[in-house]
Amino acid sequence: MIPEYIDTWQMTEPGKLVRTKIPMPALNPTEALVEVRGCGVCHTDISYFYMGVPTEHKPPLSLGHEISGVVVAGPSHLVGKEVIVPAVMPCNECDICKSGRQNRCLAQKMPGNSLGIYGGFSSHIPVPAADLCVIENRGEQPLEHMSVIADAVTTPYQAAVRGRVGPGDRVIIVGAAGGVGSFMTQVAKGMGASTVIGIDINGDKLKMMEQYGADFTVNSRDKSIKEVKDAIKSYCKEKNIPANHSWKIFEVTGVKPGQELALALLSFVGTLVVVGYGTAETSYMLSRLMAFDAEIIGTWGCPPKGYPKVLEMCLDGRIQLEPFVETRPMSQIQEVFEAAHHGELKKRVILVPDFN
């Protein structure tokens, strides 16, 4: 049954959330209405809410772009299906889309940003139907857990695709224990990397990653860049692997110290993929890039065509979701935002609608 209104938590202005109802829109033939079962809280939401990062659609609007749910209206072949709503939905018509880079479509729609007023911290969301990722045979994994695939897992996957990670590769992840970094670590190992080194400042979470893809970890808290590099060199010497060439480095923190460390680790015929978002400027001598014959790559989101592969990895166990997420009622959104803003969350929180 389609309700007359969408229950939602709207950001009426940065720093202010209001629970409200908005009229249910009439769907056009290309849209589906998804009943939200879970929506993950992402650092991007916190950036919009606290840090003044502008949304394309000006407030008031509902935030939230990591969404899983059930299609309740729209194309008949989708009604009743459990789905993941891609965080980036391209136009599929422009030159960029036709070149295969749909994730960076300039006309893309993003829930909680550029999809009108609609976001995932709601009871329902109308979305373009064509790019929905249908979930089949999820077994014992809760549907709400699938929501984080929409960004926290697919973004690392796309980063690994851009970095051409494959069997036998050697990978370093700066920020390996964070909300996205923990999945970046698993994705790299799941795509065949033979050596994955994780670096982070959270010692407990970093140690945990040794059970989920990291072959070696370095706690960089209170360590200089030289000390971090020395720890890596020592490990490489012990394992008889090269320390000074061919590493694929993923910078996931988005903060200046992490970026500076990642740039310092880049060496001969290496690759640095920038995954994390931050506003600080970081300097680098470009001639080093030339001398190393290395490359630096930016990455943005993930095209919907990549979602089925990521879902497969989550369902077959190469990527574990449950140890890294927790669910809370959506009515706790304000306190969850506060905790996320102050770095107090131990897991990625998925908010479950409780408007009744």
Q: Render pLDDT for 232-256 as a digit per residue (tens, 0 to 9).
A: 999 999 999 999 999 999 999 999 9
* 330 closest CA partner among 8, 4, 3: 8
* 172 closest CA partner among 149, 193, 152: 193
**Do residues 135 and 161 both lie within one domain?**
no
Joined tokens for residue 147? 């929501």
- The domain spanning residue 327 has which CATH number? 3.90.180.10
Q: In the predicted model, is pLDDT for residue 278 greater than 90?
A: no
- What does pTM read for this prediction? 0.95
Instruction: Provide, rounded to the nearest whole percent, the portion of the chain with pLDDT above 90.
Output: 96
Q: What's residue 9's pLDDT?
A: 98
Q: Which of 253, 268, 298 is the last residue of a domain?
A: 298
Q: What's residue 52's pLDDT?
A: 84
Averaged confidence pLDDT in the chain: 96
- The domain spanning residue 240 has which CATH number? 3.40.50.720
**Do residues 171 and 114 both lie within one domain?**
no
Q: List the domain range (segments joined by +) for residue 315.
A: 5-151+302-352
Q: What's residue 235's pLDDT?
A: 98
**Do residues 30 and 143 both lie within one domain?**
yes
User: Mean per-residue pLDDT for 279-285?
Assistant: 92
Q: In the predicted model, is pLDDT for residue 151 greater than 90?
A: yes
Total of domains in the chain: 2
**Do residues 236 and 330 both lie within one domain?**
no
Q: Which residues contact 30 (CB under 8 A, 6 or more apart)?
A: 128, 129, 130
Run of H or E residues at 227: helix 225-239
**% helix, strand, coil for the chain, step of 5:** 30, 25, 45
Q: Is 95 exposed, middle or buried (0-12, 13-18, 19+ CB in 10 A)?
A: exposed
Q: In the predicted model, is pLDDT for residue 71 greater than 80?
A: yes
**Do residues 20 and 147 both lie within one domain?**
yes
Query: Which band of pLDDT confidence, cut at 50, 70 and 90, is reported for residue 356?
Result: confident
**Do residues 56 and 11 both lie within one domain?**
yes
Q: In the predicted model, is pLDDT for residue 1 greater than 80?
A: no
**Do residues 324 and 198 both lie within one domain?**
no
Q: What's residue 186's pLDDT?
A: 98
